[in-house]
Amino acid sequence: MFFQEKHNLMIALDSDGEFISIDPPGHRDSSAKLRIACHKITIGQRQVDEKINTMLRACRKSNGDNQSLLPPPVIAKTKDGRSMLVEAMHLPRDLGALIGGARFMISVREVSSPRNSRKSRMRRVYGLTTTEADFADLLACGKSVREASELLAISVWTGRSHLRSIFQKTDTHRQGELIALLNQEEI
């Protein structure tokens, strides 16, 4: 059984991690190319398929009561560059009973890439150049000026020059202040 709406997909599993096959009322043909065979789920996107099947294996190993055995949610990229969040979750018994005895739900949904969103906001709100936004994003992710410079294949001196420009454009004076500003929910 699976439910789909646009880029959101939910797959119901029983307490043994096996697929529940129920046609919900009003079920219509889906645009998802979901294939279930040999205890495997594929949607035709290699990286997403790997993440889904990692979650599926974890559900099969879990006894349905120990939530700590399920891996944390992961983001996988599709061939066309979209970010898909894949997660497995335990369902409360009462809710699961309403869905054919489901104990787990695997969710696949499209999300905006946090790093790309932050960089585009930095460019839009503060007028940072692409390189400055890349540099600032690496700093916000915990990299030092030296590490960020190496990752962008620029000298440390050029990195420091970018940092001065970023400070000026964001009206900040220290890296900690800049990082706090960039890690806010909405810039």
Indicate yes or no: pTM above 0.85.
Answer: no
pLDDT of residue 174: 93
pLDDT of residue 149: 92
DSSP string, 63-86: -SS-GGGSPPPEEEE-TTS-EEEE
Query: Which parts of the chain sit beneath pLDDT 50?
Result: 1, 24-32, 38, 186-187
Architecture of domain 115-182: Orthogonal Bundle (1.10)
Dig out the tokens for 184 from the structure: 């806010």
Q: pLDDT, tens digit, for every residue of 142-177? A: 889 999 999 889 999 999 999 999 999 999 999 999
Whether the Cβ atoms of residue 135 and residue 115 lie closer than 8 Å to each other: no
- Dihedral (Cα; 48, 53, 75, 70), 10-degree rounding: 170
